[in-house]
Amino acid sequence: MKYRIWSAAMSAGLLVAAVASAPAEPVLQGKDAYGNWQSDKPGTVRLIQPQDLAKPGATPSVASFPRVVPRPPEAALQVPAGFRIDLFAEGLRGPRIVRVAPNGDVFVAEMRAGNIRVLRAGDGGKVATNEVFAGGLKQPFGIAFFPNGDNPQWVYIANTDSVVRFRYQAGDLKARGKAETIVANLPHDGGHSTRDIVFTPDNKRMLVSVGSLSNVAEGMGNPPGGLDAWSRTQPLGAAWASETERATVLAFNPDGKERKIYATGIRNCVGLAIQPQTGLPWCSTNERDGLGDDLVPDYVTSLKEGAFYGWPWFYIGNNEDPRHAGARPDLKDKVTIPDVLVQPHSASLGMSFYQGTQFPSEYQGDAFAAEHGSWNRSKRTGYKVIRIRMKDGKPTGEYEDFVTGFVVNDAEVWGRPVGVAVTKDGSLLISEDTGGTIWRVTH
């Protein structure tokens, strides 16, 4: 297969519609914060709070899968005023997570193809090199360089069932030797297959996200030995049977030992990132389906060690899932409420914090998250990249539409964002896995 790589400087590849400057819009709150693809536009700020939640079943649960079509010639991605977005790469095989190596090389997980690919820009920003770094992997998703800093010695890859690593020196375009298996037995098969990976700033711990097997632990039954005995010996809110160690973030040392559960009750933490200001891990999460158009909000949140985020018994605090009514009253007041609630069914995936100097100063320390888009909503939502607003390193609870325009009409879409990453020059890369493209946002 041929791969066509585009430089941001190539006007022929430009697909952009900057939103004109306008007075700052008010923050949409309550019911006004909810919307759909037709009301999305860069600069729209939303604040969804726990008190805004709809009642379970307030609207029917609707299956509305998108029909993916080729990018129409007239399609235009929208970005805020002062920004532009260019096609950076196309012809990729379902690009998902994107991570930038300390030397500036762009590593891309082609999950279905089982590849990790490396893209390197030459003079003038034009991508000059495109190589498969490693192949034959099992649904690779997460990518991390270890140790942290300018001179990593390893590239870690989170497969759906394991964590492996390759020897690495800056500039390597091909993996050095065979993969070394660090964790051989991640929970896998069925349900959510993505596994992301990050290292804590002190290089002492490796965190790996593992999504649930099911939507809401249907038919999980009772734990062996009974609930009381189980609760006394397991982390708060831990699941059992086929959901053992799932809907969690797991912690290891960098050699894959000292395995433990870091946090529980997180239905599907797809994207992991470390917040530079605090060193805290953050998680971009897909919440459950089947309770109507406006339940349950997805979320982007800091992760507290030992915390329980509700799944499957509760959501967004002490809101009980009616499908598990009365099952775990002991957990009702022990649920950690996420920091930033996102439109339900948006399918929040990859995330990254902005530390570059190219964007305006008010973006410094904010986060970006990719919203893959809904299937369980009557009016399509997601299919965009959002900005998570911070103030003094703490989330305000607000998020802002940043890149929109991937939806064609109520039935069709041409792109579904997955990964976001900040390059060495401070631009933002966005992968979308249906059209096989990566986009570059500059200011």
What pLDDT does residue 124 have?
62
Q: What is the pLDDT of residue 59?
A: 97
Query: Comparing C-alpha atoms, which of 403, 412, 400 is closest to residue 431?
Result: 403
Dihedral of alpha carbons 275, 365, 272, 126, sign = negative
The reported pTM is 0.94
Please give the CATH number for the structural domain made up of 4-442.
Answer: 2.120.10.30
pLDDT for res 324: 96
Strand order of the β-sheet with 4-5 is 4-5, 84-90, 437-442, 428-432, 417-422
Residue 7's pLDDT is what? Answer: 38
Res 126: pLDDT: 66
- Contact between residue 143 and residue 109 where contact means Cβ atoms under 8 Å apart: yes
Write down the pLDDT at residue 18.
54
The C-alpha atoms of residue 118 and residue 133 are separated, in whole angstroms, by 6
pLDDT at 151 exceeding the cut of 70? yes
The DSSP code sequence of 1-70 is ---EE--TT-GGGB--EEPPP-PPPPPEEGGGG---GGG--TT-EEEB-GGGPPPTTSS-----PPEE-P
Number of H helices, E strands in the chain: 1, 33
- The tens digit of pLDDT for each residue in 72-120 reads 999 999 999 999 999 999 999 999 999 999 999 999 999 999 999 999 9
pLDDT at position 24, please?
A: 64
Model confidence band, residue 5 (pLDDT cutoffs 50, 70, 90): very low
State residue 16's pLDDT score: 54
**Is residue 54 very low, low, confident or very high in pLDDT (cuts 50, 70, 90)?**
very high
pLDDT confidence tier of residue 1, bands split at 50, 70 and 90: very low
Per-residue pLDDT of 357-385, as tens digits, reads 999 999 999 999 999 999 999 999 999 99
What pLDDT, in 10s, does the model give residues 277-331?
999 999 999 999 999 999 999 999 999 999 999 999 999 999 999 999 999 999 9
Q: Which residue has the higher pLDDT, 402 or 124?
A: 402
Residue type, 362: E
Q: Is 30 or 14 the better-scoring residue by pLDDT?
A: 30
Q: Which pLDDT band holds residue 23 (cuts at 50, 70, 90)?
A: low
122 pLDDT band (50/70/90 cuts)? Answer: confident
Residues 91-104: tens digit of each pLDDT? 999 999 999 999 99
Contacts of 169 (CB under 8 A, 6+ apart): 153, 176
Which stretches does DSSP call E strand in 78-175?
Answer: 78-79, 84-90, 95-100, 106-110, 115-121, 127-134, 142-146, 154-158, 163-167
Task: Judge whether 303 and 262 are in contact, CB under 8 Å.
Answer: yes
Q: Give percent above pLDDT 70 in the chain.
A: 94
Q: Work out the average pLDDT over 197-208.
A: 98
Query: Which pLDDT does position 17 carry in this prediction?
Result: 54
Per-residue confidence (pLDDT) for residue 15, from 0 to 100: 55
Please state, rounded to an integer, the average pLDDT across all residues of the chain: 93
